[in-house]
C-alpha cells in the first residue's frame, strides 16, 4: 500500500490562543557567573548561564543534607521529635567554625531543631550532628549523599562533607541545585515550609537567628531555599517562589556581594514572572486531530494526547508558535486504543522543538473479505479510507 506523510498546521489549536503584540523578552544577561531559572510547573528553562560547570557550592550544598533528612522522615526512618546528643568530636571540629547553631558538646537537641539550625541559621555544626545521628558517622553520611546524588541524576555533584565547607572535589552545578531545590519543594510538601521561616532562636543565641535568604519577606511568593558564600565561589542563592499557581526555581552563583545577590535574584525572578506565562494547550484525552483509516470498520480515528500538555512561553514565543501533526495517511487497521499513531510537534523561537506522541482514541477493527475490496475501491474513487460501519 502506498502511503504519504500528512502534516497539519497550527490552525488546529488557533482557537485556544489569544495573540497579543510581540515582546522581545528573550534577551537577558546577568553578572552572575552561573545561573539557571526554571518554571517548575512545566519544567521549562527560562534562562541559563554556565549551568553545567561544577563549582564549590558553599552552604547551598546543605540542601542535600536536608534532602537526606526529609527523605528519611518521609520513609519513617527518622522523626522530627527524635532527640540527638551532640558528640564531643562534632563540637570540637565545628564549634564556632563558620556559620553555627551554637551547639555545645553533649547538648540534647531534636531533629526538628537541627533542621531549622541548618535551614534558617546555616549551621555547619548542625549538619554534622544530624549526619552522625542518621548514619553513625559523618564519613558514612557523605557516602550516602554521593549515592543519593547518583540516584536522583545529579551528574555534576560530588560531596566531601555535609555542610559545604571548602574541600577539594566538593562541587555542584547550578542545574543540579535547581533539580534538588525542585525536589525539596515537590516531594516534601509537609516539611518544605521550614524553608520559609525567617527566624529561629536556639537557646536564646540572638546573635544568629535570622534567615539570610534575601527574597523572604522582600519578594512576593518567595518561600525558600538557601544562600551560600565562600571567597572562591562568591555569593550564591538557590531560591523558589510561587505566584498564582506558577512556581519558579532560581539558582545564581559567583556574585560579588550580599547586595548584588539580593538585587540580581529579585531581578531574575521578576523577569521570569513578568515575561513568561503558563499556557495549558491540551488535556489528557483531548482530540488533537482526526486521522483517516485504511481498511477499518471506521473511516477515521481520533488522535488524542495521553497526558496534559502545558507550556511556559513568552508573549513573542506564543505569537510565533508553530504546531504540526505528523502521521502516515491513512493509518492501517487494526488499531488498538492507546496505540501510538502520530506525533504532535510544537516549535518555538529560541527553543528546541517539543514533541508528544499522539494515541488512538478508540479501537478500529480490520475489515475482511468483500469489505476490503469495497474499501479499496472507495479509496481509489473518492479518497475515503473505509466505511463508517463494517459491511454486512
Annotated catalytic sites, by residue? Answer: 59, 62, 122
Q: Which of 301, 298, 294 is nearest to 379 (CA)?
A: 294
Residue 286 burial (10 A CB sphere; 0-12, 13-18, 19+):
middle
Residue 252 · residue 234 · CB < 8 Å: no
Cα separation, 293 vs 324, in Å, equals 19
Residue 220 · residue 200 · CB < 8 Å: no
The DSSP string of 187-221 is: H-TTTGGGGG--B--STT-TTS-B---TTTTTSTT
Residue 280 · residue 310 · CB < 8 Å: yes
The DSSP string of 315-365 is: HHHHHT-EEEEEEEESEESPB-TT-EEEEEEEE-TTS--EEEEEEESS-BP
Residue 223 CA to chain centroid, in angstroms?
16
The DSSP string of 21-66 is: ----------SSSEEEEEETTTTEEEEEESTTS-B--GGGGHHHHH
Cα separation, 368 vs 366, in Å, equals 7
CB atoms within 10 A of CB 149: 20
3-state helix, strand, coil in the chain (%, to 5): 30, 30, 40
* DSSP H or E run through 71: helix 62-74
Give the angle subtended at the CA of 292 by the CAs of 289 and 293, to the nearest 5°.
Answer: 130
Q: Show Cβ contacts of residue 150 under 8 Å, excluding neighbours closer than 6 positions.
A: none
Q: Which of 363, 344, 365 is nearest to 355 (CA)?
A: 344
Amino acid at each position: 500500500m502506498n502511503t504519504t506523510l500528512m502534516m497539519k498546521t497550527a490552525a488546529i489549536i488557533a482557537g485556544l490562543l489569544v495573540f497579543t503584540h510581540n515582546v522581545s523578552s528573550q534577551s537577558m544577561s546577568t553578572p552572575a557567573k552561573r545561573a539557571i531559572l526554571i518554571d517548575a510547573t512545566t519544567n521549562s528553562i527560562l534562562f541559563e548561564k554556565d549551568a553545567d560547570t561544577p563549582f564549590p557550592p558553599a552552604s547551598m550544598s546543605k540542601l542535600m543534607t536536608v534532602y537526606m533528612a526529609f527523605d528519611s522522615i518521609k520513609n519513617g526512618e527518622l522523626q522530627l521529635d527524635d532527640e540527638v546528643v551532640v558528640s564531643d568530636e562534632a563540637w570540637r571540629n565545628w564549634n564556632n567554625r563558620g556559620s553555627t547553631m551554637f551547639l555545645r558538646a553533649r547538648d540534647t537537641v531534636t531533629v526538628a531543631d537541627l533542621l531549622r539550625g541548618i535551614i534558617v541559621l546555616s549551621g555547619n555544626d548542625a549538619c554534622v550532628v544530624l549526619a552522625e545521628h542518621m548514619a553513625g558517622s559523618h564519613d558514612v553520611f557523605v557516602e550516602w549523599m554521593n549515592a543519593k546524588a547518583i540516584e536522583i541524576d545529579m551528574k555534576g555533584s560530588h560531596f566531601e562533607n555535609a555542610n559545604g565547607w571548602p574541600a577539594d572535589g566538593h562541587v555542584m552545578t547550578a542545574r543540579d541545585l535547581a533539580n534538588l531545590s525542585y525536589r525539596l519543594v515537590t516531594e516534601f510538601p509537609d516539611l518544605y515550609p521550614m524553608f520559609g521561616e525567617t527566624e529561629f532562636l536556639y537557646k536564646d543565641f540572638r546573635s544568629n537567628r535570622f534567615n539570610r535568604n534575601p527574597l523572604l519577606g522582600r519578594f512576593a511568593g518567595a518561600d525558600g531555599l538557601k544562600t551560600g558564600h565562600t571567597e572562591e565561589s562568591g555569593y550564591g542563592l538557590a531560591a523558589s517562589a510561587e505566584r498564582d499557581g506558577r512556581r519558579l526555581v532560581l539558582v545564581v552563583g559567583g556574585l560579588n556581594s550580599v547586595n548584588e545577590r539580593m538585587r540580581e535574584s529579585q531581578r531574575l525572578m521578576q523577569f521570569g514572572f513578568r515575561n513568561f506565562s503558563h499556557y495549558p494547550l491540551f488535556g489528557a484525552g483531548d482530540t488533537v486531530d482526526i486521522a483517516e483509516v485504511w481498511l477499518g470498520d471506521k473511516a477515521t480515528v481520533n488522535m488524542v494526547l495521553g497526558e496534559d500538555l502545558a507550556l511556559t512561553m513568552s508573549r513573542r514565543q506564543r505569537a510565533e508558535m508553530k504546531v504540526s501533526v505528523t502521521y502516515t495517511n491513512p493509518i492501517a487497521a487494526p488499531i488498538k486504543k492507546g496505540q501510538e499513531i502520530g506525533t504532535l510537534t510544537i516549535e518555538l523561537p529560541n527553543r528546541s522543538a517539543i514533541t508528544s506522541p499522539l494515541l488512538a482514541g478508540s479501537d478500529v477493527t480490520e475489515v475482511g473479505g468483500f469489505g476490503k475490496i469495497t474499501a479499496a475501491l472507495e479509496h481509489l474513487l473518492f479518497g475515503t479510507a473505509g466505511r463508517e460501519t463494517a459491511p454486512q
